[in-house]
Amino acid sequence: MRIDVLSLFPNMFAPMRESIIGKTVERGLVDFNVTDFRNYTDNKHHKVDDEIYGGGQGMLLMPQPLFDAMDAVEKEAGNRGRVILMDPAGKTFNQSIAEELAKEEHLTIIAGHYEGYDERIRTLVDDEISLGDFVLTGGELGAMTVIDATVRLLDEALGDERSAVDESFSTGLLEYPQYTRPADFRGLKVPDVLLSGHHANIAKWKHKEALRRTYQRRPDLLADYVLTTEDQKLLKEIKQEEQND
Ligand SMILES: C[S@@+](CC[C@H](N)C(=O)[O-])C[C@H]1O[C@@H](n2cnc3c(N)ncnc32)[C@H](O)[C@@H]1O
């Protein structure tokens, strides 16, 4: 996969060299490029922003530097790929968007700054993505979040022993509680079933606890989850158990 980011602060992407994402770049699984679109200004002061027509606080990113930077990406890569604008007015990012983006061969992400974009910049983009209902100073942290969540879904990104298949949101439920050694830590014990070696019972326990956690913490997710007859029985048990607690 090729990923281009258009940003005024390329140094902010240093974390992309670390950990699992850094390894995907080192191993050639991801071709990651950051373009400083200030280098594409056609004015002698390298200005990328200007005052807002009709009045308004702050400065807006002008179209010219971003349009020219996008042309440069297209020239180098042969295409623009799927173009994403980081913007608070976009669709809220989630796991299913990450899964969709992980299927693309090329993503180009625009990270804004200042008061945001001249409206005409939106004609360049395929998707507008928000991290949530809050305002950041720039799109860099959002772009890194989108890249991290997307790249870890690529085949081979997590390595043989790790998997994104069972994780929160991938199944439609939150992940069940997990434990590692020791079996008894300061009197806090690992549930007996997990030490039993009985695979069917363990699988059933994991599923029930994923349902319980989702019901307790994110009941909204259950609205989109197709409950089997067995799930409905388990949920009834969970509600009963909660009442008895
Ligand atoms: C200070 S913000 C501009 C906010 C804009 N004036 C508004 O009210 O929507 C500057 C840039 O940060 C990025 N940004 C801020 N909040 C964001 C969010 N919640 N999700 C994604 N990007 C965000 C965008 O790239 C945005 O253009």
Q: Do 90 and 210 have their domain in common?
A: no
Q: Which atom of ligand 1 is nearest to the CA of 129?
A: 21
Total domains present in the chain:
2
In a domain? residue 158? no
Q: DSSP character for 190?
A: P
Q: Do 189 and 102 have their domain in common?
A: no
Nearest to 174 by CA among 91, 92, 95, 93: 95
In a domain? residue 157? no
Q: Do 191 and 122 have their domain in common?
A: no
Q: Do 133 and 36 have their domain in common?
A: yes
CA of 172 to the centre of ligand 1 (A): 28
Query: Residue 107 pLDDT > 90, yes or no?
Result: yes
CA of 229 to the centre of ligand 1 (A): 44
Q: Residue 231: in which H helix or E strand, if any?
A: helix 229-244
> What is the rounded distance in angstroms from the CA atom of residue 212 to the CA atom of residue 219?
9
Average pLDDT in the 98-107 region?
98
pLDDT of residue 37: 98
In a domain? residue 166? no
Enumerate residues lining ligand 1, CB below 6 A. Answer: 86-89, 111-113, 115-117, 130-132, 134-139, 142
Q: Do 177 and 106 have their domain in common?
A: no
Average pLDDT in the 74-98 region?
98
In a domain? residue 90? yes
Q: Do 219 and 180 have their domain in common?
A: yes
Q: Do 147 and 183 have their domain in common?
A: no
In a domain? residue 10? yes
> How many CB atoms lie under 10 A from the CB of residue 6?
27
Measured CA distances, 188 to 123, 175, 180, 192, 202 (Å): 56, 20, 12, 12, 19
Q: Do 237 and 179 have their domain in common?
A: yes
Domain endpoint, select from 103, 121, 151: 151
pLDDT of residue 159: 72
| 156-188 residue pLDDT tens | 888 754 567 778 888 899 999 999 999 999 999
> What is the rounded distance in angstroms from the CA atom of residue 143 to the CA atom of residue 243?
43
Q: DSSP character for 13?
A: G
Domain endpoint, select from 90, 122, 151: 151
Q: Binding residue per annotation — 133?
A: yes
pLDDT of residue 160: 56
Q: Do 105 and 26 have their domain in common?
A: yes
Domain endpoint, select from 93, 122, 151: 151
Which residues partner with 33 through β-bridges? 4
User: Which range marks the domain in which residue 232 is found?
Assistant: 171-244
pLDDT of residue 163: 64
| 125-154 residue pLDDT tens | 999 999 999 999 999 999 999 999 999 999
pLDDT of residue 162: 57
Q: Do 61 and 125 have their domain in common?
A: yes
Q: What is the CATH number for 232? A: 1.10.1270.20
Q: Do 126 and 178 have their domain in common?
A: no
CA of 86 to the centre of ligand 1 (A): 7
Sheet of strand 127-130, all strands in order from the earlier edge strand to the far edge = 31-36, 2-7, 106-110, 82-92, 127-130
Average pLDDT in the 95-120 region?
97
In a domain? residue 39? yes
Average pLDDT in the 175-203 region?
98
Q: What is the CATH number for 7? A: 3.40.1280.10
- Per the prediction, the chain carries an average pLDDT of 96
ipTM: 0.99
In a domain? residue 101? yes
Q: pTM score, two decimals?
A: 0.93
Query: Residue 244 pLDDT > 80, yes or no?
Result: yes
Which residues partner with 109 through β-bridges? 5, 84
Query: Residue 218 pLDDT > 60, yes or no?
Result: yes
pLDDT of residue 168: 84
Determine what percent of the chain is predicted with pLDDT higher than 90: 92
Q: Contact 20/153 with Cβ under 8 angstroms? A: no
Average pLDDT in the 108-132 region?
98
- In the structure encoding, which two tokens stand for residue 159, read together? 């390595």
Q: Do 89 and 19 have their domain in common?
A: yes
| 42-54 residue pLDDT tens | 999 999 999 999 9
The residues, ordered by sequence, that sit 6+ positions from 16 with a Cβ below 8 Å of its Cβ are 22, 25, 32, 144, 147
